[in-house]
Structures are given as C-alpha cells and as structure tokens.
Amino acid sequence: MQRRNLQGMQHPVAAGWRLVRALVPLLLGVRLLVSAHGTAANPRIFDMRPSSGPTVGGTRITFSGADLGGGRPLCRFGDGDLVVEGSFQGQSIHGVVTCLTPAAASSGYELPVELSTSGGAEYTRAGYHFRYYHEAVVSWVSPSTGPAAGGTLLDVRGYNFAPREAVGGRMRPGI
C-alpha cells in the first residue's frame, strides 16, 4: 500500500482517530477512519426549518442531513455561548436533529444557527439563520359565527401583526 505524507497535517491516529476495518472497505481494499466521536464524515446539513419564531422561544427547529448521528447534538445560536442540547432521530447515514430555540429579548433580528454533532468540539458553518419576532396577539374577532359553507369575512384585531403573505381560512362550527 502506498502512503502519502501530507505536510502540515497531523497524523489521523495522533488526532484521535481510530483505524477500523469494515466489511465493505475490506472488500474494496480501503481502510476507513472513524473519529472518537463516532463518524469520520463531517455532518452535511440539507435543510433547517423553520427559519423564524417568537421571542418567547420554544420553537422546535429541525436540521435534516447526513452523518448527523455521530455524537451528542448541540445547536448554537449566534456566535457566543447560547447553546442548547438537541436530539437525533434516524439512522447514522441520514436523519434529523431537533432543538428548541431559546428565548430572545427583542424581535426583528437574525442569529446564525450552527449544529455540532461532536458535543461542541466543532460546529457546522452551513449558513442558516433564525429570525425572532413578537408573537401576534389577537384581542377580538368578529363575527363569532357564520355559515357552514364558509365565505364569512372576519375582522381580526390585536397587535404584533407583521406584514406577511395573505392569510386565508374557513370558519368551522365550534370555532
């Protein structure tokens, strides 16, 4: 087997990696390196949803991707110490990590959100952000009844309504 010396790089075993032989790599004549945290591959994030939520916190955000099951998942909000523990579901090759957003003091700002599957040793730099807003408060709705077929125009009053896409819906009996 030919060995290469990569200048400026620490030997993988000295960096905490373990040499593991697996059935498929053996058949191919390839050796697989697995980190002490459980996976050699870097986590790959395909999506994070939702990208916004209320300042009271508690919004469940979900990262979907590959190689997410390697260790203890953590979500970091912003560049500081605002870190919350997440949970992983799925298989090691593909799954989801969910975290609850922390509360925020004010609305209208975005924080970068990064994921660690190594207990905080390293974080992804996938470029996802979470935007906080004040939750809308409804104080009055009129009329309180309408035909079962729908079509009733509602007058909804309150505060913290943000300009968004058009809202639609049907009135159902009992609501």
**Cβ atoms of residues 150 and 131 within 8 Å:** no
**Cβ atoms of residues 58 and 101 within 8 Å:** yes
51 vs 163 pLDDT, higher one: 51
Q: What is the pLDDT of residue 167?
A: 54
What mean pLDDT value characterizes the chain? 75
What are the distances in angstroms from CA 95 to CA 44, 46, 63, 89, 167? 11, 10, 8, 6, 32
Rounded CA-CA distance 72/121 in Å is 10
Average pLDDT of the segment spanning 64-81: 88
Give pLDDT tens digits for 90-100. 987 789 999 99
Q: How confident is residue 81, by pLDDT bands cut at 50, 70 and 90? A: confident
Q: What is the pTM of this model?
A: 0.61
Query: Mind listing the domains of the chain with CATH numbers?
Result: 6-36 (no CATH), 44-133 (2.60.40.10)
